[in-house]
Chain A
Amino acid sequence: MAVTEAPASSVLAVDETAPAPARKWLRSLAIGLPAGLLVLIFGACFVLPLVAPIPKPTGGDVLSSSLPPFSPGHLLGTDPNGNDIFSRILYGGRSSLIVAISVNLLGLALGGSLGALSAHFGGAVDTIIMRVLDVFIAFPSLVLTLAVAQSLGPSQRNTIFALAFFSIPAFARISRAATLRLREQPFMVAAKLSGTSTWRILVRHIAPNIGPQLMTFAMLGMGIIMIIEGALSFLGLGIPPPAPSWGNMIAQGQLSLSATPLLVVWPSLALFLTVIGFNQLGEALRARWSGR
C-alpha cells in the first residue's frame, strides 16, 4: 500500500541531509540517552539504598521536621514528619517501578497471548474475546481501577491487580492487530501448510515477530502506568502512607503547596524524568524497528 511506504521514504529524505556516521550516532544516542537515564534511576532506587547510608523513608523524628535542602545528612531536606525526602524519593520510586513493571509484565504475558490466540484462531473465539475487550475499553479505565482499588483496599499488590485490569486489554489489542498483520506473510502460510503445530507456530513464528512491537508498547506502557499509579496514590487509593510513593508524596505536598512547594516539586521531577525516559526509549525503539 502506498500509505505504508510514505513514512519510509520521508525518513530517507530526511536522512540524506546528514552524513552516515552522524546519523548512526544520533540514532544510538536516541536509545542510549533515555536508557542511561533509566539505568541511573533504577540504580538509585534499587541499589543506592543498599550501599549508601540513606536514612529510613519512614518513622522520622519530629525534631528534625521540614529541614531545608542540603541540611547535614538530608540532601533534599526533610518533610513535615521529619522523614528524609531523598530517601522517600528513592523508596517511593522503588514501589512505583515495581508496580509498573509487574503491571506491564502481566499485560504482556496475559494480554499479549490473549490477543495472539484470538487473532490466530479467528472465528467465534476471536469475536467473543474482542467483544469482551471492547467492553473493557469502553469502560473508563481509571474508574474501574478506582473501584477495584477501593474494594480490595489500598496496598501495593492490589494496585497492581487494579492496574492490570486495563493493561491486559490494551496489550491484547496490540498483539491481536500485530498477529493479524502476520497472517498473510509467506512464512506463516508456509508454516501452516507444512503442518506445523499451533503451539509451535505461536511460539516460534508469532511471538518473535510481535515481540518488538509489544516491547515498544510496554515501554510506553511503563510511563502510562507510572502516571496512573501516581494518580491512584494521589487520590489515596494506591500505596497507603506512611510508605512512600511518588503519588502520595505529591498529594501530601499539595496540602502545603504555597508554603513548601519543593515537597511537590521533588517527587514530580522524579516522576517526570522516569516517564520521559520510558517514553523516549519507547519512541526510539519504535523508530528503529519501523525504520528497517
Chain B
Amino acid sequence: MLGSPSLRLVGKRLLMAVPIVLGVSILTFWVLNLIPGNAAQQLLGPEASPDQIQQLEEEMGLNRPQVVRYLDWLGGAVHGDLGTSLVSRQPVTDELGPRLAVSGEVVGLAFLISLGLAIPVSLLAARWPNRMLDRISMVVSTTGLSVANYVFALLLVLLFAVQLAWFPAIGYTPLSESVTGNLRSLALPAIAIAFPLFCFYTRFLRSDLVDQMQGEDYIMTARAKGIGPWQVLLRHAFRNSAFGLITIVGLNLSTLIGATVIIEQIFALPGIGQMLLQAINTRDFIVVQACVIVFAIITVLANLLADLLYAVLDPRIRYGSN
C-alpha cells in the first residue's frame, strides 16, 4: 500500500499543478483576447450596426475589463461552470461530457493498441537483438516516426475503407447503438493515432532493454545466478524500463490531444478535438477556453498519474528515501 511519503509526494505535485493550470487559463484568456473582433461582432455578422454590437457586448459582459472577466470566468470554473457557448447558447459543460467520452474512447483504444503491440514486440526484439524481428521492428518504427498522422490516416482510409471496405471511412456509431458498429467506426481513427505511438514506444523500449541487458551489473548478476534469459528480461530489465515508458506515455498525452484534433476532423468524429476546431473557426472563445482548460488538466493529471505509478512501482520513492 501507499505509505505516507508517497501521499505527500502526490499532494506536493497536485499543489504544483494548480499554478500551471491557472497559468494555462490566463494564457488562453490573453491569447483569445488578442484576437481582433469579438464574439458579439461574430454573432451579429458583418452588417450589424455599432449600436447593436455595443448592446450585445453589454449583454454578454464583454465590455468589462479583461481582468474582471477573467476573474468572473475563474469563479464559475472553480464551481464547475465553464460558461455558455456563444454560438449554441448551451452550457459548455453539457456538451463537453459526451464529446470527452468519444475522444476518451478513441485515445484509450489507441493506447491499448500501441502498448499492447509495442511491449511484446520490443521484448522479442530485445531478446534477440540484431536478428530479423529486431531489424524489422526498427525499420518500421523509424520509418513510422517520419509519417505524419494525417497522412497515415488517409492511407488507412484509402486501403481499408475505399479499397477493401472493411471499415467506414467517416462517422461515429455510439456505443449504445451497437457495440460492433462502435468499434468499427473507431477502428481506423484509433489505429491512426496508435501507429506513431507504437513506433515511439517500440524504439524507446527496445533500446532501453538492450542497453540494460548488455551493460547493467544486476543483469550480469542475475544471469550469473543462472536465471533464464526470459526471466531476466521480464523480471529485471523490463521492470526497470517500465519507468521510462510510464514517463513517456504521460508526456505523450499532450501530443495526443493535438492528434485527436486532426484525426477527429478526418474521420468526422464528434469528439472534443472537433469541438475545439469548430469553436476556433467560429471564434466561440468560451468553448475554446473550456476545451483548453480540459486539455491542460488532463495533461497535468496524466503526469501526476505517472508520478504516482512511479511511487507505486519504486520502493525507493515509496518509502521516501533520499
Binding site for B on A (CB under 8 A): 2, 5-7, 9-10, 13-14, 131-132, 134-144, 146-148, 150-151, 223, 227-228, 230-231, 234-235, 237, 250, 254, 257-258, 261, 264, 268, 271-272, 275-276, 279-280, 283
Is the beta-carbon distance between A227 and B148 smaller than 8 angstroms? yes
Taking a contact as CB atoms under 8 Å apart, the answer to whether B214 and A6 are in contact is yes
Contacts of B36 in A (CB 8 A): 151
Tell me whether A5 and B215 are in contact in the complex, defined as CB-CB below 8 angstroms, given that A142-B258, A146-B280 are known contacts.
Answer: yes
Given A6-B216, A257-B162, residue A138 in contact with residue B296 (CB < 8 A):
yes
Query: Which stretch in B24-32, B55-63, B74-82, B221-229 binds the other chain?
Result: B24-32
Could you say which residues of chain B place their CB within 8 Å of the CB of A279?
A: 142, 145-146
The CA of A6 and the CA of B142, in the complex, are separated in Å by 23
B292 CB to nearest A CB, Å: 6
Closest A residue to B153 by CB, please name it.
Answer: A254
CA distance A7 to B216 in the complex (A): 10
B35 x A151 contact (CB < 8 A)? yes
Q: A141-B254, A147-B288 are in contact. Are A132 and B151 (CB under 8 A)?
A: no
- Cβ contacts A to B, 5 pairs, < 8 Å: A5-B215, A13-B214, A132-B23, A257-B154, A258-B162
A10-B214 contact, Cβ under 8 Å, with A131-B23, A138-B21: yes
Report the separation of the CA atoms of residues A245 and B87 in the bound assembly, to the nearest whole angstrom.
Answer: 32
Q: Are A138 and B299 in contact (CB under 8 A)?
A: yes
A14-B207 Cα distance, complex, nearest whole Å: 13
Across the interface, do B295 and A140 meet the contact criterion of CB distance under 8 Å?
yes
- A140-B262 in contact (CB<8A): no
Find chain A residues with CB under 8 A from B148 CB: 227, 230-231, 268, 271-272, 275
Per the CB 8 Å criterion, the residue count for chain B at the interface is: 53
Given known pairs A138-B20, A235-B265, A257-B162, the reply for A144 and B146 (CB within 8 Å) is: no
Q: Is the interface of A mostly helix, strand, loop or mixed?
A: helix
Q: Please determine whether A272 and B151 come into contact, CB atoms closer than 8 angstroms.
A: yes
Q: Say whether A230 contacts B150, CB under 8 Å.
A: yes
Residue of A nearest to B217 (CB): A2
Check A140–B277 contact: CB distance below 8 A: no
Q: B150 contacts which chain A residues (CB < 8 A)?
A: 230-231, 234, 250
CB-contacts of B11-43 with A (<8 A):
19-21, 23-24, 27-28, 31-32, 34-36
Find the B residue at minimum CB distance from A228: B258
Give B259's nearest chain A residue, CB to CB.
Answer: A142
The 8 Å CB contact of A143, one of B35, B142, B151, B257, is B257
- Which residues of B have CB within 8 Å of A135? 20, 23-24, 27
Contact with A along B183-222 (1 / 0, CB 8 A): 0000000000000000000000000001110111100000
Complex contact B34–A140 (CB within 8 A): no
Contact (A140, B154) CB under 8 Å given A6-B216, A131-B23, A147-B32: no
- B317 CB–A CB distance under 8 Å: no
Query: Within residues 226 to 272 of chain B, which ones have a CB less than 8 A from any CB in chain A?
Result: 254-255, 257-258, 261-262, 265-266
Question: Is residue B109 contacting chain A, with contact meaning CB distance below 8 A?
Answer: no
Q: Distance in Å from the Cβ of A153 to the closest Cβ of chain B? A: 9
Instruction: Give the distance in Å from the alpha carbon of A51 to the alpha carbon of B281 in the complex.
Output: 41
Given contacts A10-B214, A142-B261, 19 further A-B contacts (CB under 8 A): A6-B215, A10-B210, A10-B215, A135-B24, A138-B296, A141-B254, A143-B257, A143-B258, A143-B291, A147-B280, A228-B258, A234-B262, A235-B262, A235-B265, A250-B154, A254-B266, A258-B158, A264-B154, A268-B151
Closest to B295 in A: A140
Taking CB atoms, residues of chain A closer than 8 Å to B300 are 138
B125 sits at the interface (CB 8 A): no
Q: How far is the CA of A9 from the CA of B219 in the complex (A)?
A: 15
Chain A residues near B258: list those with CB within 8 A: 140-143, 228, 231
**How far, in whole Å, are A275 and B148 apart by their CA atoms in the complex?**
9
CA of A235 to CA of B277 in the docked complex: distance in angstroms?
Answer: 9
Task: State the CA gap A12–B295 with chains docked (Å).
Answer: 44
**A131–B17 Cα gap in the complex (Å)?**
11
Q: Give A143 to B27 CA distance when docked, in angstroms.
A: 12
A66–B265 CA distance with the chains assembled, in angstroms: 26
Whole-angstrom distance between the Cβ of B240 and the nearest chain A Cβ: 10
A135 CA / B17 CA spacing, docked (Å): 10
> What distance in Å separates the Cβ of B206 from its nearest Cβ neighbour in chain A?
13
B306 at the interface (CB under 8 A from A): no
Contacts of A237 in B (CB 8 A): 280
Least CB separation from A232: chain B residue: B262
Residue ID in chain A nearest B146 by CB atoms: A276
Given the complex, which residues of B lie within 8 Å of A13, measured CB to CB? 214
- Chain B residues contacting A235 (CB-CB under 8 Å) are 261-262, 265, 277
**CB nearest neighbor in A for B143:** A276
Q: Does B286 contact A (CB under 8 A)?
A: no
Shortest Cβ distance from residue B78 to the other chain A in the assembled complex, whole angstroms: 18
